[in-house]
Structure 1
Amino acid sequence: MKKKVLVVDDFENTRWIVQQILQKEEELEVLSAGNGKEALQHFESTQIDLLVTDLNMPEMDGIELVKAVRAKDRYKFMPIIMLTTERNPEKKQKAMDIKVTTWIQKPFEQSQFRKIIRKALRLK
């Protein structure tokens, strides 16, 4: 069965690029959302295996989204990747304090990003 990855970013081009990269991995099914509120709907209707989210978004930012997801028992230990242009060390620390698995700075290197995704999902 394919692992479900939810990509959340308010910038449509970023969502599309990340989806294109991840769809190269046969073991993955990629879903997307434009903000945190939209993303939460996916968590109600399907089992998500990995969340890749931006930090700065309207409606509900990445920090609020991570808190809401971590509050659900079945997602307490799910890997979460913060993919952002944000460089503020305080914001990065805030994300780590709420148990974000890793922080990736945009722009990123495709092959390295795919390695991180595979490792987070424990794929060979």
Structure 2
Amino acid sequence: MGESTGPGPGAGSGAGALHTRLLIEVPDPAALSVAQTCGRVCVWCAVVLTAENAVELGPRCERRFATDFVWFPRGCRLCTEPHAYRVLLDHAQSCEQCADETGHCAEGRALRQTLKGVRR
């Protein structure tokens, strides 16, 4: 998974939302088409993305041929939901704050907000 290079575009692009999107693993860009790495189609199923069905997954930085490049993966809502849900479950199972009171953990709140946005 790549590293963040700064805040990305899209709804809920605050620092917490960006961080949670980066927790969602995406396929290796070397195995993707140009349309997938450019965010025109879903990184998982390659469906054409529109403003209604696209989910920003945060900018990623990759090193290829001694050059860094930033790419902006996006997924469709149907593919992104199970990935976001898995990240939320993994986090909640290992976070003491989430076990005590879900509202006290900023990362847990951001993950729930991300999942809520995907399901809208």
User: Which interval holds the TM-score relative to the shorter structure?
Assistant: under 0.3
Larger radius of gyration: 2
TM value normalised by structure 2: 0.25
RCO higher in 1 or 2 (8 Å CA, sep ≥ 6)? Answer: 2
Q: Which protein is richer in strand relative to its size?
A: 1
TM value normalised by structure 1: 0.25
